[in-house]
Structure 1
Amino acid sequence: MNLGKYINLSAEDRLKLFLSTLSVTNRTPEYYVNWFKVERETRQFELELNTLNYLIGKENIREEALKLFVKQPDLLKAVPTLIASRDKILDILTIDEDDNMVFDKLDFSKIDTERISEYIDFVEKSGLLDFLQNKAKRSLVDYVYGVEAGLDSNARKNRSGTTMEGILERHVAKLTDKLDLEWKAQATAPFIKENWGISVPVDKSERRFDVAVYSKEKHKLWLIETNYYGGGGSKLKAVAGEFTELSQFVATSPDNVEFIWVTDGQGWKTAHLPLAEAFGHIVNVFNLNMLKEDFLLDLFNR
Structure 2
Amino acid sequence: MKDFDKLLNTLKDSILTYDYFVDFKKAFKNVDEINYNLNILNHLLGHPNFDEAFRMMYTKNPDVISVIPILLATRDKKFEITENKKVFYDFENLTNPVDYLTFIRKTGLIEIFYDHRIKNLVDYVTGVEVGLDSNSRKNRSGVAMNNIVYGFLKSVPEIEILKETNPTKVFNQWGITLNIRNKVFDFVVKDSSNHIFLIETNYYKASGSKLNETAKSYILLNQEINKSNKAKFMWITDGKGWLSVKNDLKSAYNSIEYLYNISDLENGILKNIFNKK
Q: TM-score, normalised by structure 1?
A: 0.85
Q: After superposition, what is the alpha-carbon deviation per residue over 1:173-232, rounded to whole angstroms, capped at 9, x for unaligned?
A: 233xxx132110012112222322333232x32x011111112x3111222110111121
Residue 300 (structure 1) aligns with: 274
SS in 2 for 1:135: coil
Report the Cα offset of residue 147 of structure 1. Answer: 0.2
Which residue of 1 is the match for residue 261 of structure 2? 287
Task: In structure 1, give the amino acid aligned to 2:189.
Answer: V
Structure 1 residue aligned with 2:193: 218
Shift of 1:137: 3.7
Segment of structure 1 superposing worse, 229-238 or 261-270: 229-238
Any conservation in 2 of the 1:56–1:136 contact (CA below 8 Å)?
no
CA distance in 1, matches of 2:177, 2:224: 11
In structure 2, runs of 5+ residues without a counterpart are none
The amino acid of 1:193's aligned partner reads F
Quote the residue 2:100 is aligned against.
119
Residue type of the partner of 2:233?
F
Aligned to 1:49: 38
Runs of 4+ in 1 over 6 A off after TM superposition: none
Q: Which residue of 2 aligns with 1:81?
A: 70
Q: Report what 1:247 is aligned to.
A: 222
C-alpha distance in 2, partners of 1:83/1:195? 46
SS in 2 for 1:249: helix
Partner of 2:49: 60
Task: Name the amino acid aligned to 2:216.
Answer: G
Identity of aligned residues (%): 33
Aligned to 1:105: 88
**Correspondence 1:201-280 to 2 at 5 A:** 201-202=179-180, 204-205=181-182, 207-215=183-191, 217-255=192-230, 257-280=231-254
Instruction: Indicate the RMSD between aligned Cα atoms, in angstroms.
Output: 1.8
Structure 1 SS opposite 2:136: helix
The equivalent residue for 1:167 is 148
- State the Cα distance separating 1:163 from its structure 2 match: 2.3
CA distance in 2, matches of 1:225, 1:131: 46
For structure 1, the 5+ residue unaligned runs are 1-7, 95-100
Q: Are 1:153 and 2:134 an aligned pair? A: yes
Distance 1:42 1:236 in 2: 36
1:8-61 deviation line (CA, Å, top 9, x unaligned): 13xxxx221111011112222212212233223222211100111111222222
- What amino acid sits opposite 1:159 in the alignment? R
Q: 1:193 is matched with which residue: 171, 174, 178?
A: 171
Verify: 1:20 aligned to 2:1, yes or no: no
- Find the partner of 2:80 among 79, 91, 102: 91
Q: Which shows bigger deviation, 273-282 or 33-42? A: 33-42
Contact 1:57–1:133 (CA under 8 A) maintained in structure 2: yes
Between the aligned partners of 1:90 and 1:136, the Cα distance in structure 2 is 28
- Please give the alpha-carbon distance, in whole angstroms, between the structure 2 residues aligned to 1:142 and 1:297: 50
Equivalent pairs, count: 276
Quote how far apart the aligned CAs of 1:79 are. Answer: 0.3
Which amino acid in 2 is paired with 1:48? N
1-side partners of 2:275 and 2:104: how far apart? 63
8 Å contact kept, 1:199–1:253 = no
Q: Which moved more, 1:37-46 or 1:72-81?
A: 37-46
Question: Which residue identity lines up with residue 225 of structure 2 in the other structure?
Answer: V
Distance in structure 2 (CA, Å) of the matches to 1:276 and 1:44:
49
Q: Which amino acid aligns with 2:114?
A: Q
Look up the equivalent residue of 1:258 and give its one-letter code: K
The answer to whether structure 1 residue 37 and structure 2 residue 13 are counterparts is no
Residue number in structure 1 paired with 2:123: 142
Deviation at 1:89, TM superposition (A): 0.3
Q: Give the whole-Å Cα distance in 2 for the aligned partners of 1:301 and 1:182.
A: 11
Q: What displacement does 1:245 show?
A: 1.4
* Pair 1:131 & 2:107 matched: no
Shift of 1:136: 4.5
